């Protein structure tokens, strides 16, 4: 894991848009891990559960919300592991979604599954937005985790 002069640790997935946009997926400063907006890509960089698009290039249904949320948590768990952390260390998450009702239904199920409890012990926000980075993307989630060990 590369380290820069200001004692930051970083982690990436190695997908092309990291270089194209110029950002890291996660950064640890002291005991806090900040995770950039995660989406449902697989190891090949392709979206898992892409939404079908209408003639205007907009998602036409949100039936893939559960698949996208699940894969987003899977990707987040991989990043957290780079810092020796887990979802138990997450203190805040924000879900940005194109359809709040379908995200609420899918998210309530997947969050409980991923955190392993009926009431995940983190602050959570669910925010409806009009667009995300990729047309087939219907959810993006940011996370903040706190661990009891500072960056090296």
Strands 123-128 and 90-97, by their bridges, are parallel
Task: Give dist(CA 97, CA 102) in Å, integer.
Answer: 9
Could you report the per-residue pLDDT of 130-142, keeping only the tens digit for each?
999 999 999 999 9
User: What CATH class does 8-146 carry?
Assistant: alpha beta
According to the model, what pLDDT value does residue 17 have? 82
- The structure tokens listed for 5 are 């002069």
pLDDT at 129 over 90: yes
Please state the domain extents for the chain.
8-146
What does the pLDDT look like over 79-89, one tens digit per residue? Answer: 999 999 999 99
Residue spans of alpha helices (H) in the chain: 16-21, 65-82, 100-115
The token pair at 71 is 């894969």
Please tell me the pTM assigned to this model: 0.91
pLDDT reported for residue 151: 59
Q: What is the dihedral of CA 29, 32, 33, 37, to 10 degrees?
A: -110
Q: Which residue has the tokens 């940005």?
A: 96
Select from 37, 41, 88, 86 the least CA-distant residue to 67: 41
Give the pLDDT confidence of 91-108 residue by residue, as tens digits.
Answer: 999 999 999 999 999 999
| Distance between CA atoms of residues 151 and 6, nearest Å | 10
pLDDT digits (tens, 9 = 90+) for 22-68: 889 999 999 999 999 999 999 888 999 999 999 999 999 999 999 99
pLDDT score for 20: 83
């Amino acid at each position: 894991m590369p380290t820069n002069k200001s004692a930051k640790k970083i982690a990436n997935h190695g997908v092309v848009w990291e270089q194209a946009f110029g950002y890291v997926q996660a950064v640890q400063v002291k005991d806090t891990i900040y995770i950039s907006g995660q989406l449902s890509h697989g190891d090949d960089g392709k979206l898992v559960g892409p939404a079908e698009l209408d003639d205007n290039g907009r998602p036409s249904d949100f039936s893939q919300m559960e698949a996208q949320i699940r894969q987003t948590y899977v990707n987040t768990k991989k990043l957290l592991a780079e810092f020796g952390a887990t979802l138990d260390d997450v203190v805040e998450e924000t879900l940005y979604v194109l359809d709040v009702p379908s995200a609420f239904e899918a998210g309530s199920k997947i969050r409980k599954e991923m955190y392993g409890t009926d009431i995940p012990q983190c602050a959570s926000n669910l925010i409806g937005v009009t667009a995300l980075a990729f047309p087939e993307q219907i959810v993006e989630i940011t996370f903040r985790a706190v661990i009891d060990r500072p960056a090296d």
